[in-house]
Structure 1
């Protein structure tokens, strides 16, 4: 029997990502066009992922010499200075390998408005195409192609007037592909009498957990191309709800109006989301352009707005900016609890949702804000910048959110991570990660460009294991990990990169001094930048190894928080100071293999009786089963790819934790 000051057993372990952040890979694409309009840069404007970690990107592309990586593609838009654009859709594997592409468009201006995936990995795309101008004169241009899947027809030459008229007046489209890029259906619901530029207009869409597509549109009166309740008698805002088979289930009038025809000016940056649990809709955007926006019968008089609508389209509540009232909302996201996350640009002194943004600098700066489903403000963060910078996109994962944008000199208050370019160098894309519960910055990374070059982060999506995919465009070249990207033509090309971190192991050891209630604590996990101890009696101490004396015997909960390059890892244990006990049966010699695994984990050298439990990285219980022999198997074949925490408990109550990976 051995005397111990301490009876030690583990009660909880939470591992957050990550140990070392890195740009894992990068790919580029673009065309040789010299396009004059800023929105015509070869670009990635949105990224989505599926449950298998596959990546899908969308954005505009020029009309000649189109490449993605080293693969050449056929495009259809006009070529030359001031030319029009096509729509490029790409799918990549998690390792950055190109899976498939789609080029959509014709000779005129074709615009993609949104891309989404469902839980089965199907891909939905919506936007506008223009087959031929109604008064086109001369040689007929290329008709609209939905890649090689569908080509829209145009009228042959009219020998009297030399005028061409589009036989397919529809410009709005919704298209569905499966995960391998096979066309499932195409819907262009407008009437034949539609006028392309003065008619219907698609804004945004979202997909709920049942695979239904919710399409926010502006519709003119007419009989539309779906089966039931297809007559619109009064123009206005509507939400079309499509089934996964492409049938319109409902057409809901939205309690939102617009007075004016400059839709893009009014809703260019507006975002739209549906809450799968409640069916409520959320719209956030910037009030700009000559059009007047009304919500629930009242005009929007401010620059920024956020509104919630019932499934029947009725306004539930709205928020408008005030104070200095200078800013823009560029993205809107929801998490599984219905909490709302906004990103964009704001100037100091602007108030929104009860929060006033402040900064020691006067320039417009990136911001990120969180609200609950009822519109109550939870937290906000505003960056400090020397020149106007912006947040363009927001991604939500289990425990954190990430944003991307661009800046030349940028940092977040009370944190040291910064973007700092040399004088006259321009902007660099950044990726910043925040704790989802309180807005605390986890880390910020930037892309690397040469002097005189610039990069712009426009899109971001969350992948598995707190991995993120970021895209945008760049002007010269980029250095992303071991990959160097060069632009395709004379103008900006697009880029896609994977940001990834390793998951650290964390542990600590405890020993006692017999003469008193004094313990020695040592952090024994992966090497950390620093370690902070929370000792259960109100004491907090920094250090890898510490000694602490308790005022009285008793049970205390001790936590060690290890700070790494891009995350914090917390290990918590319960201990009883001043007890004498036998050494408990050890699980230190267990063997777990193969790790990573595709299906089964072998567990060997266990105690004769106990329990095995598996959690995801956010602490959710996934499976639990007893064991009664030293060697066992654990089936992970039904789980998605990712990193998990395995807990083993012996009959005596000793617990150990191991990181396991499913490939």
Structure 2
């Protein structure tokens, strides 16, 4: 008697052979300024998304001829080489449709350090404006604008000399909230008139929790600040200033983390000190590149840090819990720190062979500094690391975390990831181009790597990345000539580099299998019945692995075996596993083949028709997490998906005879 148990174990592990990039859309932007410093090029510095799937970028532009995806904007900075920069904030739908933009800045240099959203429909930006810079005697330059929402007063200098003077409005640190439609909500600039960035205060970084509570990492000098309570800072140091979503201060804690100067914790556009809060326990994590050792000092828990790189954890009240320092060759930089929902830590940056960090020594057959990505648990224990092999110095600039994987972006010339047969090895002498590499969160295996396409002599640089729905990422940076991304060709706005934003998506196909057997024997026939795949691999539960769309296999003994089929697709793999008993194979009693599921995609309800008389329906996300399960006792049913985020899900239908079928459904 044939009996198919079909005890569901669904695994969506994402690894694939060499692939073709799937760039859904791309936009460009920037100003026409000519800059004398490479750090001043038009660029996308940060990307984030909201609950509705909208995308937000924060970048830097000059003052002349600013455009974002062909939309002209008014900026406020100077238009001469190295004169100044403004902050550009723009939003797009998940399909690439332009929504809105804001320009923040004045005549001088203005910098944005962090961009975050919460689940309440708010967008947060922190950075510094330069309303305090010296100006010539006479009519002041442009005031600092938070677009047209707020204009700061430009106070004329009261002097009879012909020398330079300073404004008397000394606030430079800011944190501003918009709603996701771009409507201004509030602005806080808490410094006293007696201190400023140019006298030592710095808004180093920021994190925001789901409720909209803001954790603002700042270096503060002594003084009386502009919040209502506990507003006297008596000791220079690094503090976490906590705001609620209405912009009110609700707490402040000094960390056992300090530097001789605040400027040594940051750079023009941030990028030295990275910060995240663990939502599970409230602990803070800081990682970075130790610039302070060149000019002053960096102290963590009272100890002087002399290494290039560090990672440290602090309690919610600021006490040091543990720290890691680099050693060995000790040459590298940490360019980003991200956490997943379990509190695991992911770092990316540049590393040179022979450098040790967190118990792992990075090795490479080449001597050049290369992109790396590393994972640690919340206690600082090393989980895994990957280091690329490059012909010329290359780097990871940003990290994005999703349910089952992480992705990084940066730039490289000839670049591949060792011990991964599916790694893309780019050609030598091809110049630098932006890359996007995806890794399995659990073990660090490379899933796939994509490289942007630029003409000979051109270059592109990946600088920021954010995760969208499953297998979807938004990547931004800048480019020097033109870029070819899917069906879109991007051209420069000005004479130097322009910025870009692109969406990468890997569609997840359906995978399934069928089983039959020869009665009274231990032989089974397995057939892959899912979407056409590049190749199919079988794991037969007794240690045997076979390749092929259909196979016949005889077990040595009768028994229950867990059988999996792994289908390799263009940019992912899907694994479906069932439990079966060899030697006991029979037909199912009631078919689910005629079930109708519509509309698919849906934005609220999913209709199920032609169901058997009795059974149950189950919905999983692509990492196998159970989302809902309910019985059905009639031929027609509805599932309410309105509260689920946009993405791809797996629907399982089971009848009373034990037959199960699986269908991919999409919420949009």
TM over 0.5: yes
Q: Structure 1: where are the runs of 5+ without partners? A: none
Tell me the distance in 1 between the aligned counterparts of 2:248 and 2:588. 67
Tell me the distance in 1 between the aligned counterparts of 2:585 and 2:505. 46
One of 432, 439, 443 as aligned partner of 2:437 = 432
| Contact 1:107–1:132, Cα closer than 8 Å, also in 2 | no
1:465 matched residue in structure 2: 470
| Contact 1:409–1:418, Cα closer than 8 Å, also in 2 | no
Indicate the SS of the match to 1:44. Answer: strand
| Contact 1:127–1:174, Cα closer than 8 Å, also in 2 | yes
1:589 matched residue in structure 2: 594
Deviations 1:558-595 (A, max 9, x none): 00111222211101011111125454211111111111
| Contact 1:17–1:501, Cα closer than 8 Å, also in 2 | no
| Contact 1:419–1:428, Cα closer than 8 Å, also in 2 | no
Verify: 1:313 aligned to 2:310, yes or no.
no
1:40 matched residue in structure 2: 40
One of 277, 280, 286 as aligned partner of 2:283 = 280
Indicate the SS of the match to 1:368. Answer: strand
One of 420, 423, 428 as aligned partner of 1:417 = 423
Residues 70 and 582 of structure 1: is their aligned pair in 2 closer, same or farther, counting only changes over 3 Å? closer
2:4 matched residue in structure 1: 7
Indicate the SS of the match to 2:6. Answer: strand
Verify: 1:227 aligned to 2:228, yes or no.
yes
Tell me the distance in 2 between the aligned counterparts of 1:175 and 1:261. 21
How far residue 169 of structure 1 moved from its aligned partner, in angstroms, is: 0.9
Tell me the distance in 2 between the aligned counterparts of 1:514 and 1:647. 28
How far residue 262 of structure 1 moved from its aligned partner, in angstroms, is: 4.0
Aligned pairs, how many? Answer: 659
Tell me the distance in 2 between the aligned counterparts of 1:265 and 1:290. 13
Tell me the distance in 2 between the aligned counterparts of 1:650 and 1:609. 6
| Contact 1:334–1:341, Cα closer than 8 Å, also in 2 | yes
Q: Structure 2: where are the runs of 5+ without partners? A: none
Q: TM-score, normalised by structure 1?
A: 0.97
Verify: 1:253 aligned to 2:248, yes or no.
no
Indicate the SS of the match to 2:156. Answer: coil
1:337 matched residue in structure 2: 342
Deviations 1:163-210 (A, max 9, x none): 664242100000000010111100000001124412311100000233
2:141 matched residue in structure 1: 141
Indicate the SS of the match to 1:344. Answer: strand
How far residue 597 of structure 1 moved from its aligned partner, in angstroms, is: 1.1
Tell me the distance in 2 between the aligned counterparts of 1:583 and 1:213. 56
1:23-62 map, 5 Å: 23-62=23-62
How far residue 71 of structure 1 moved from its aligned partner, in angstroms, is: 0.6
How far residue 497 of structure 1 moved from its aligned partner, in angstroms, is: 0.1
Indicate the SS of the match to 1:418. Answer: coil
1:179 matched residue in structure 2: 180
Tell me the distance in 2 between the aligned counterparts of 1:644 and 1:457. 30
How far residue 9 of structure 1 moved from its aligned partner, in angstroms, is: 2.7
Residues 580 and 350 of structure 1: is their aligned pair in 2 closer, same or farther, counting only changes over 3 Å? closer
| Contact 2:506–2:572, Cα closer than 8 Å, also in 1 | no
How far residue 114 of structure 1 moved from its aligned partner, in angstroms, is: 0.7
How far residue 119 of structure 1 moved from its aligned partner, in angstroms, is: 1.1
| Contact 2:202–2:263, Cα closer than 8 Å, also in 1 | no
Indicate the SS of the match to 1:369. Answer: strand
Deviations 1:511-538 (A, max 9, x none): 2134631111121212222221110112
Moved more, 371-380 or 642-651: 642-651
1:344-493 map, 5 Å: 344-415=349-420, 416-421=422-427, 423=429, 425-493=430-498
| Contact 2:120–2:211, Cα closer than 8 Å, also in 1 | no
Residues 389 and 582 of structure 1: is their aligned pair in 2 closer, same or farther, counting only changes over 3 Å? closer
1:73-112 map, 5 Å: 73-112=73-112
| Contact 2:15–2:446, Cα closer than 8 Å, also in 1 | no
**What root-mean-square deviation, in Å, do the aligned CA atoms of Structure 1 and Structure 2 show?**
1.7
Tell me the distance in 2 between the aligned counterparts of 1:511 and 1:262. 69
Tell me the distance in 2 between the aligned counterparts of 1:18 and 1:468. 16
| Contact 2:272–2:289, Cα closer than 8 Å, also in 1 | yes
Indicate the SS of the match to 2:8. Answer: strand
Deviations 1:303-345 (A, max 9, x none): 0100000001011100000111111100000000000000000
Tell me the distance in 1 between the aligned counterparts of 2:101 and 2:255. 35
| Contact 2:5–2:658, Cα closer than 8 Å, also in 1 | no
One of 555, 567, 573 as aligned partner of 2:572 = 567
| Contact 2:15–2:445, Cα closer than 8 Å, also in 1 | no
1:299 matched residue in structure 2: 304
Deviations 1:124-143 (A, max 9, x none): 00000011524533542101
Tell me the distance in 1 between the aligned counterparts of 2:15 and 2:261. 49
Moved more, 614-623 or 154-163: 154-163
Deviations 1:72-108 (A, max 9, x none): 0000011112221000011111011111111000001
Tell me the distance in 1 between the aligned counterparts of 2:487 and 2:539. 40
1:649 matched residue in structure 2: 654
Moved more, 446-455 or 150-159: 150-159
Indicate the SS of the match to 2:378. Answer: coil
| Contact 1:17–1:503, Cα closer than 8 Å, also in 2 | no
Moved more, 576-585 or 169-178: 576-585
Q: TM-score, normalised by structure 2?
A: 0.96
